[in-house]
Amino acid sequence: MRYKKPFTLYSRKIKGGKRVFYYRTYDENGRRTFGKSTGETNRARAEQYVADQIRKGELIPKKEMTFARYAEDWWVWDKCSYIRGKLARNQNLTRSYADHQRTFLKNHTLPAFGNKYLTRITPHDIENWILGMKDSGLSDSSIYTAYSGLRVMLREAVRRDLLYKNPAERVHPPSRNTSEKGIFTTDEVKMLLSEEALQIIWKDDIIHFTANLVAASCGCRVGEIQALRGGDIKDGYIIVAHSWSRRYGLQDTKNHKTRYVPVPDRTAKHLGELKKLMGEGFLFSIDGGKRPVNYTTIREHFYNALDAAGIPADERKKRNISLHSLRHWFNSTMRGRVPEVKLRAVVGHSSEKMSSLYTHFVLDDFKEIASIQGEYFGK
């Protein structure tokens, strides 16, 4: 009887044009498994590499890996090797994003693919999965989130030589169907955040009035505003170094970078008043600076102010206006009037060019932005 080798060798062209030998073995059912690289460009050395694997008992897998086994630690903050690798390279990935993806993995992806072998997942399987989620009534944005998480996981499997190709890359991505971000008019912002509005619209609520004033006049995210403390308030600018998470408390900013944002006169005045009240603690607080006011409360006061300003709930929903709309208004107002690299530096949109140009903050560098801020939020 002819001897059958427990493996087969083949060459594959990799990046750069070099050909490397891969080997395939067989699982417990006699089926060929996914190819693994020997790292060798010479067939004889590749044969020797595989022989060494046989001698060490590491050639034939006891069982092919299921998707559930592969996904065991995925998106778990303290265990996922993908997350650890991203953070080690200072690449942007937040804990809340990881938690979000873990939830989608457990609720939508594992039920569909958990028992499948990793190497047996096909584009057809993924297409049917997407259609099934659509038929179940899941929103387009949720379907896209689930799909994008799976695509990242399978791409990482390719990088780790657990897959030859990523089947998700051959699937047309589902529609995100994200509605256009709502934006205020300049007249609405002036009406909502004038000095007169503090009493008439905000009922002398200095905390929530100023929080929204910072969003509109400085372009800060809500979590960044919640995280502001007394020591972050400087003469003519604020230091945005942290963001407040509803689940994890004080965190880095979204892109893990500290930025320095010019502050117009009226905003500076109200921040100064809060600093006198809270000292070095959290400025937007109802317990003396120990902990910032929560997001839900900020949103509730924001919606109440909109109602008082003549922008009721039905109009708000139709225009897709949210807390983020004030930051969006700031960004839109500045765009085209100041250099893009400076705008990115202030609003915290990541840019390698921006990072290299603005490693040190000088207030005069942002005089264009300060001038425009003064037009709307001056003395």
DSSP string, 195-235: HHHHHHTTTT-HHHHHHHHHHHHH---HHHHHT-BGGGB-S
| Per-residue confidence band for 358, with pLDDT thresholds at 50, 70 and 90 | very low
Question: Which residues have C-beta within 8 Å of that of residue 89, sequence separation ≥ 6?
Answer: none
CB 85 within 8 A of CB 77: no
Q: What percent of the chain lies above the pLDDT cut of 70?
A: 89
| Per-residue confidence band for 91, with pLDDT thresholds at 50, 70 and 90 | confident
pLDDT in tens, 18-45: 899 988 876 655 567 777 888 899 999 9
Residue 187 CB neighbours (<10 A): 8
What the block records as the tokens of 340 is 């893009």
CA dist 256 and 124 (Å) reads 38
- Which one-letter amino acid corresponds to residue 322? S
In 3D, which of 29, 8, 12 has the Cα closest to residue 20? 12
What are residue 11's DSSP bridge partners?
21
Q: Answer whether residue 138 shows pLDDT above 70.
A: yes
CB 67 within 8 A of CB 116: yes
215 burial class (0-12, 13-18, 19+ CB within 10 angstroms)?
A: buried
For helices 95-104 and 140-159, the axis angle rounded to 10 degrees is 100
Residue 126: per-residue pLDDT: 96
Angle (CA) 155 140 86, round 5°: 30
CA dist 127 and 200 (Å) reads 54
DSSP letter, residue 105: I
CB 116 within 8 A of CB 65: no
Residue 27 CB neighbours (<10 A): 16
Question: Which residues have C-beta within 8 Å of that of residue 196, sequence separation ≥ 6?
Answer: none
CATH class of the domain at 186-377: mainly alpha
Q: Answer whether residue 74 shows pLDDT above 80.
A: yes
CB 149 within 8 A of CB 75: yes
Q: Answer whether residue 76 shows pLDDT above 70.
A: yes
Helix (H, G, I), strand (E, B) or coil at 11: strand
Question: Which residues have C-beta within 8 Å of that of residue 113, sequence separation ≥ 6?
Answer: 67, 68, 121, 125, 129, 150
How is domain 67-170 classified at the CATH fold level?
Answer: DNA polymerase; domain 1 (1.10.150)
Average pLDDT over the chain, rounded to an integer: 86
Helix (H, G, I), strand (E, B) or coil at 22: strand
| Per-residue confidence band for 291, with pLDDT thresholds at 50, 70 and 90 | very high
Listed by start position, the domains of the chain span: 8-55, 67-170, 186-377
Residue 371: per-residue pLDDT: 85
What are residue 26's DSSP bridge partners?
32
CA dist 315 and 309 (Å) reads 12
Q: pTM of the full predicted structure? A: 0.67
| Per-residue confidence band for 198, with pLDDT thresholds at 50, 70 and 90 | very high
Q: Is the dihedral of CA 222, 228, 232, 237 positive or negative?
A: positive
CB 284 within 8 A of CB 293: yes
Q: Answer whether residue 140 shows pLDDT above 70.
A: yes
